Amino acid sequence: MEGKSSYGGNMEYLKATELKLGPPGTDILQEATSGVSTRPKKRAVTGPTEQHTKSKVQVVGWPPVRPQRMNSFRARRNETVDESGGVYVKVSMDGAPYLRNIDLKILHGYKELRTILEGMFKCSSLGGAEGYDEEGYAITYEDKDGDLMLVGDVPWEMFVSSCKRLRIMKGSEARGLS
């Protein structure tokens, strides 16, 4: 991944790294969702990558498992606190072929977080405190409740205790969060 100069628009990597249900390499789910959801009544999704956005969105209510069970899976999946007390969270970036792990405990604030992430993923711009520019990215995270949140809203300590994983989203997709 070092040496990759651009992350936007490389379709193969997009497909390889996008979130989906089922083992990687299967495209059937993508067909399933995009085939069904071309109705005018669907909530509008902005951005040029509409097709990919739809296929990244999990199929609502599938698999048919009650929310109580879903939540207990999430809780287990993210309980990766190591013995030394570090808080390691996975960091994914849209378009990147593999994820990274960082220890939030050793950082002191959002600015340092941004610097570290920029170094890890060698992106040109991760945007300013208020958001991001057209070509840039937004840093988001999944909190204890499983919700996707924009990084920077809560005090740093609160963020460290509630952050379960980080995701660097492309600017066009992340617009909806602001």
Partner 1 sequence: MKVQSAMFYFPEEVIEHIFSFLTHHPDRNTVSTVCKAWYKIERLSRREVFVGNCYAIRPDRAAARFPGLRSLTLKGKPHFADFDLVPPDWGGLAGPWIEAMARSCPNLEELRMKRMVVSDESLELLVHAFPNFKALVLVSCEGFSTDGLAAVARSCKSLRELDLQENEIEDRGPRWLNSFPDMCTSLVSLNFACLKGEVNLKSLERLVCRSPNLKCLRLNRAVPVETLAKIMNQCPNLEDLGTGSLLADQFSEAYVSLISALQKCKKLRCLSGFWDASPLCLLAVYPICANLTGLNLSYAPTVQGQDFINLIQHCVKLLRLWVLDSVGDKGLAVVASACKELQELRVFPSDLFAAGPATVTEEGLVAISTGCPKLNSLLYFCHSMTNSALITVSKNCPNFTRFRLCILEPRKPDPATNEPLDEGFGAVVKTCKNLRRFSISGLLTDQVFYYIGKYAKALEMLSIAFAGDTDQGMTYVLNGCKNLRKLEIRDCPFGDGALLADVTKYETMRSLWMSSCDISLRGCKALATKMPSLNVEIINEWEAEMEENLNNGVAEVISNNNNKHINNGNDERKVEKLYVYRTVGGPRTDAPDFVWTL
| CA angle, 15 then 20 then 23, to 5° | 90
Here's the x/- map for partner 1, 50-79, by CB under 8 A: it reads as ---------xxxxxxxxxxxx-xx--xx--
In this structure, what token pair is assigned to residue 98? Answer: 């593999």
CA dihedral over 158, 160, 161, 163, signed as positive or negative: positive
Binding segment (CB under 8 A) for partner 1, from list 41-49, 84-92, 104-112, 122-130: 41-49
CA 147 – CA 149 distance, rounded (Å): 6
For the CB of residue 171, give the shortest distance to partner 1 in the complex, in Å: 23
12 binds partner 1 (CB under 8 A): no
Cβ proximity to partner 1, 113 vs 169, nearer residue: 169
Residue 138, strand partner residues: 169
23 binds partner 1 (CB under 8 A): yes
Cβ(103)–Cβ(87) below 8 Å: yes
Residues that bind partner 1 (CB under 8 A): 19, 21-24, 26, 28-29, 31-32, 36-37, 39-44, 59-70, 72-73, 76-77
